[in-house]
Chains A and B, each alone.
Chain A
Amino acid sequence: MEPKVIHRVKLTPRSLEVDGKRVAEAVAGESFLTHVYRQRQMDYPKFFKMDVLCKLGFIASEILLETEGAERFVPRADRAVILFNRNSSLNADRTFQRTIADPEEFYPSPSVFVYTLPNIVTGEIAIRNKYHGESNFILLPEKSEEAMNQAVERAFMDGETTSVLTGWLEAVSETEYEAEMKLIMMM
């Protein structure tokens, strides 16, 4: 038995690729993430409340799991969600910092603050899919396939985890982001 990549999704401001095939491209006017959300008719209004890191993780995971085609939204604890990046929740941090920068306009926003925790995205994916397994958000000095693969292999050591939704999830701003998400199964 060894971990195998079952499906992969790559999402950047320019395009969406599923298992190496380009399936959607950016259009002028609308944010690409919102475009994919509407095109795929994802009915999840909470999407619009999310920060860009969370939107990115949500869309990438939705497409990955649709591609998997298994029954969804059944509570399970055998699937872990482990995501990585370098810049943590940088974009939300900047947004929140702006709400507390001006003493005359000092209204810290609770909904923005929540997204200054990078692991809110793993939590949102778990909530959406009723995943009760391991969840983790790990910051690496740089994108390293080796470090990510090792972390995933270690996640399988608990005797409970049979699959891992994982990958690189970086959003530096509303228009600069990259998701490379994979579904890995022990088989």
Chain B
Amino acid sequence: MRPKVVITGMGVVSALGIGAEANLSALLRGESGVCAVRYLPTEHREFPVGEVPMSGEELRQRLSLPPGIYSRTHLLGVLALREALEHSKLLQQNALALISGTTVGGMDVTEHYFPAPQPADRDIHDCGASTNEIADYFGCFEYTMTTSTACSSAMNALIMGKLLIESGERDIVVAGGSEALSLFHLNGFKSLMILDRERCRPFDQTRAGLNLGEGAAYLVLESETSALQRGAEILGVLSGGGNACDAHHQTASSEDGEGAYLAMTQAVSDAGVSPSDIGYVNAHGTGTPNNDASESAALRRVFGEKLPPVSSTKSYTGHTTSASGSIEAVFCLLAMREGFLPYQSEYQNFDEQCIVPVSGKECQRVSLHHVMCNAFGFGGNDSSIILSRYE
């Protein structure tokens, strides 16, 4: 019998604010953090973004780090991780494992120096280095691993962490991801012509692309036995995970959402529940015409006529790319704890290709027992997890 994997801590930083409570209150009010660029030194001011509302210098001071040049991915990651470790009362613990998802890594620092090369002592370009920099702030991690599967990176970190505990290799794994905006990927996404000049509108007939966002989130995953022994507060259960490949195209999702369908069905079966038990789905819902139609097709295949409430929170945070899987997992845990459905306050126009997301002007209160969270990446790397109430 595999150990049950429970969650005993969470930390999040996004355009909605620093910390779980700030994010929660914005979600309850249906307020968006996506607006005109403030910090990223780009000329492309026509694209709104979801920036964490602090400059690099303010972030550095908040963490009491000595003056210097820090990657924003590093700073955001440390902030979120610190909250998660404090929450789980693990700051004094040693020999922990950290699995972090990132793709862009320390690219903003590379950009700071470019076109001159970075000083040789700054080996932060390889993405794994940003995980180690985040870990080093705390000095309590003996094991680090980085997942890099584009926009499903952080979710795959969670799935990997779950497996590490289920296999009996670890009792506690901290998993999630961090990704800061960079000129590198803003220009990359622009060249793919999938950035909306307005705030993104997932599943809306008028949707015209995504907004990039940034942020970080980490969950403390722990075997139930360890959590009970420590007397840790249990926030929920990471009950299921699924990872499948769409095997269709480098960047486009298949029409019938095969990879997404397989990931979701696998997650549901891993959790030992049936689709009708799912009370809410936090969709990947990026706002691109292709993703939302494909994901809708997959959702209809998984749930049939009985589609649970679905919404995307990306019109609030922007698409936080590699970090989205763990940021949205925190939103799901908050929704379950507080008993509400995250809603899309700006959704207006029905599209027959798409599901109808939870919308309106105020928050619906519900009791949630099992929720699904999706994260899909370029490369067809589709993942889905099930979070359940601990009972």
Contacts and interface: CB of A to CB of B under 8 A. Distances in A.
Chains A and B touch (C-beta atoms under 8 A apart): yes
A100 B183 contact: yes
B176 interface: no
Contacts of B377: 117, 119
Interface in A129-151: 129-141, 147, 150-151
Grouping DSSP codes into helix (H, G, I), strand (E, B) and loop, the B interface class, with mixed when no group exceeds half, is mixed
A87 interface: yes
Nearest to B104: A116
Contacts of B249: 127
Nearest to B149: A119
B145 A136 contact: no
A123 B128 contact: no
Interface in A87-139: 87-88, 90, 93, 96-97, 100-101, 108-110, 113-114, 116-124, 126-127, 129-139
Nearest to A124: B250
Contact of A88 (B115, B128, B381): B128
B110 A97 contact: yes
B351 interface: no
A132 B258 contact: yes
Nearest to A98: B115
B147 A113 contact: no
Interface stretch (B216-224, B239-247, B324-332, B342-350): B239-247
A19 B127 CA distance: 31
Interface in B71-120: 103, 105, 107, 110, 114-115
Interface stretch (A26-34, A59-67, A154-162, A177-185): A154-162
A101 B183 CA distance: 10
Contact of B169 (A124, A135, A150): A150
Interface in B342-380: 377-380
Of listed A113, A124, A147, A150, residue having the most chain B CB within 10 A: A113
Contacts of B105: 88
Given A90-B125, A97-B110, A135 B191 contact: no
Interface residues of A, number: 49
A7 interface: no
Given A87-B126, A154-B164, A120 B250 contact: yes
B122 interface: no
Contacts of B245: 81, 122-123, 126, 131-135
Contact of A138 (B110, B126, B147, B188): B147
Contacts, number: 160
A132 B250 contact: no
Nearest to A100: B187
Nearest to A160: B266
A77 interface: yes
B380 A127 contact: yes
Contacts of B144: 141
A105 to B, nearest CB: 12
B169 A127 contact: no
A176 interface: no
Nearest to B127: A88
Contacts of A97: 110, 114, 184
A76 to B, nearest CB: 10
A35 interface: no
A111 B256 CA distance: 25
A118 B147 CA distance: 10
Nearest to A129: B247
Contact of B379 (A135, A151, A158): A135
B251 interface: yes
A96 B184 contact: yes
Given A93-B125, A154-B167, A139 B381 contact: no
B170 to A, nearest CB: 11
Contact of A132 (B148, B185, B193, B259): B259
B132 to A, nearest CB: 7
Contacts of B190: 108
Interface in A5-58: none
B205 to A, nearest CB: 26
Contacts of A129: 247
28 contacts: A90-B125, A90-B126, A110-B191, A113-B188, A116-B185, A117-B103, A117-B148, A118-B127, A119-B148, A119-B150, A119-B377, A120-B379, A121-B379, A123-B247, A123-B381, A127-B248, A127-B249, A127-B380, A132-B245, A135-B244, A137-B148, A138-B145, A138-B147, A139-B126, A139-B148, A150-B169, A154-B160, A154-B163
6 smallest beta-carbon distances between A and B, as pairs? A123-B379, A113-B188, A139-B146, A139-B128, A110-B191, A126-B247
Interface of B: 103, 105, 107, 110, 114-115, 125-128, 131-132, 144-150, 156, 160, 163-164, 166-167, 169, 183-185, 187-193, 243-251, 258-259, 262, 266, 270, 377-381
